[in-house]
Amino acid sequence: MTERVAVIGVGHLGQHHARIYTELPDAQLVGVADSDIERARFIGEHLGVPAYGSLEELIRRKSPDAISVVVPTSQHYEIAKTALEAGIHVLVEKPVTVKPSEAGELLDIADRKNLVLQVGHIERFNSAIRYISGITCRPVYLDARRTAPFTPRINDVGVVLDLMIHDIDIVMSLVPSKITKIAATGACVFTEHEDIADVHITFEDGTLAHILTSRCAQKKCRQLEVVERERQITVNYELQTVQISRCVNNPEGQVEIRETPVFPKSEPLKLELADFVRCVREHRPPVVGGGDGKKALEVAVEILRQIHEANSQEVNFPAAV
């Protein structure tokens, strides 16, 4: 059975959603839509599908079974709600919405109509993360670093909702415990939103996590370290590699042993969209459902609250002697 799919929002990321749908054997791309109709037509002509200027027109003309929502974050709620109310399964890019209450409403609609609501936390489909998710056992400390040079392409949100939310979701997926404390700081550098954010998270079981995100760096870094009692796991998101380090004792003292596991690698977005289509076809919950997206958003909102509150207070330090 082939699912009829469509994409609303065909900018930098949305164009890849549309492309990949044409490559999936269980999906048929029936149309694309964008408020920039010329952009929609350009992508539509390239992929051989009709283009529309609004989601409503796309639904009326093509009646898709499922849709990817790849519009600016501020529009996620309204667009996803319109699609769900029309009985259409939805994959909405991260963050799921701007407010947790909006995410909760989308969850209620999806539950009421028995529809799939998946959130585009693409790093869950990174081959390296998929690998360590099967081997990680009781982390005691996690360190996530996601830095890159500044680009003006993303200017409607800061790094917390744009980048850090990836690591919030990953950390929460690897630690089976409730968060008890969040301590966050951040700063605006190039935009009116936070361009650097540094967060420490404490979990109920004692696990600690540190997440540093910046779009002010001179080089790109996307790395996760998971420290367990007897080993350390290092993930390179870009290369999709894993290194496992452990110390063993021998007659000459401690020796570090490093392993580099070999596992299949694939395009994360393609795995994500293939999972979405399978969930629609098989009527099963997605790997990253609306509930996961809402939980990550709730943490992100608290981080933003702390950053904004700290930055709104003037601190007068005593003059140097």
pLDDT per residue as tens digits for the range 185-208: 999 998 889 999 999 999 999 999
Beta-carbon contacts of 190 under 8 Å, excluding residues fewer than 6 positions away, are 150, 215, 216
What range does the domain containing 60 cover?
A: 3-122+269-286
pLDDT surpasses 60 at 315? no
Angle at 138 between CA 133 and CA 140, to 5 degrees: 115
Mean pLDDT of 151-173: 89
Is the same domain home to 263 and 144? yes
For the packed helices 14-23 and 37-47, what is the interaxial angle rounded to 10 degrees? Answer: 20
Instruction: Examine the domain organization and report whether 104 and 11 are in the same domain.
Output: yes
pLDDT value of position 143: 98
112: Cβ contacts below 8 Å, ≥ 6 apart: none
Q: Is the pLDDT of residue 318 over 60?
A: no
On whether residue 236 sits in a domain, the answer given is yes
Q: How far apart are CA 292 and CA 118, in angstroms?
A: 9
pLDDT tens for 73-125 read 999 999 999 999 999 999 999 999 999 999 999 999 999 999 999 999 999 99
Do 116 and 160 share a domain, yes or no?
Answer: no
Which residues fall within 8 angstroms of residue 134, CB to CB, at 6 or more apart?
none
Category of 142 on φ-ψ map: left (φ > 0), alpha (ψ -120 to 50) or beta: beta
pTM: 0.92
CATH of the domain at 47: 3.40.50.720
Terminal C-alpha separation, the chain = 76
Better pLDDT: 5 or 217: 5
* Mean pLDDT, range 59-76, rounded to an integer: 97
Average pLDDT over residues 173-180: 96
Examine the domain organization and report whether 62 and 36 are in the same domain: yes
Cis before 95? omega within 30: yes
pLDDT score at 154? 66
Whether residue 317 is contained in a domain is answered as no
Residues 56 and 109 in one domain: yes
Are the beta carbons of 233 and 136 closer than 8 angstroms?
yes
Q: What angle do CA 255, 260, 263 make, to 5 degrees?
A: 155
Please state the rounded mean pLDDT for residues 234-255: 89
Burial profile 254-283: b = 16 or more Cβ within 10 angstroms, e = fewer: eeeeeeeeeeeeebbbbbbbbbbbbbbbee
Q: Note whether 33 and 115 are same-domain residues.
A: yes
Whether 294 maps to a domain, the answer reads: no
Rg (CA), the chain: 21
Helix axes 76-85, 55-62, angle to 10 degrees: 20
Q: Which pLDDT score is estimated for 256?
A: 82
Structure confidence at residue 316 (pLDDT): 53
- Contact of 153 with 12, CB cutoff 8 Å: yes
Nearest to 276 by CA among 96, 106, 116: 116
Note whether 77 and 184 are same-domain residues: no
For residue 196, the domain's CATH number is 3.30.360.10
> Which residues share a beta bridge with 27?
3
Round to whole Å and give the CA distance between 91 and 274.
Answer: 11
Q: Which residues lie below 8 Å from residue 210, measured CB to CB, with a gap of 6+?
A: 141, 142, 143, 144, 198, 199, 200, 201
In a shared domain, residues 94 and 153? no
Residues 168 and 109 both lie in one domain:
no
Asked whether residue 153 carries a pLDDT value surpassing 60, the answer given is yes
For the chain, how many structural domains are there in total? Answer: 2
Strands of 59-178, DSSP E: 66-69, 89-93, 117-120, 141-147
Task: Output the pLDDT for position 252.
Answer: 73
**pLDDT surpasses 60 at 319:** no
Q: Do 250 and 131 share a structural domain? A: yes
pLDDT at 317: 46
Residues 192 and 235 in one domain: yes
Q: Whole-angstrom Cα distance, residue 39 to residue 51? A: 9
3-state secondary structure of 52: strand
Task: Count CB neighbours of 114 within 10 A.
Answer: 9
Q: What is the pLDDT of residue 307?
A: 96
Cβ atoms of 261 and 234 closer than 8 Å: no
pLDDT, tens digit, 9 for 90 and up, residues 46-58? 999 999 999 999 9
Q: State residue 278's pLDDT score.
A: 97
Split at pLDDT 50, 70, 90, the class of 254 is confident
Q: Give the per-residue pLDDT at 214.
A: 96
Return d(Cα 308, Cα 301) in angstroms, integer. Answer: 10
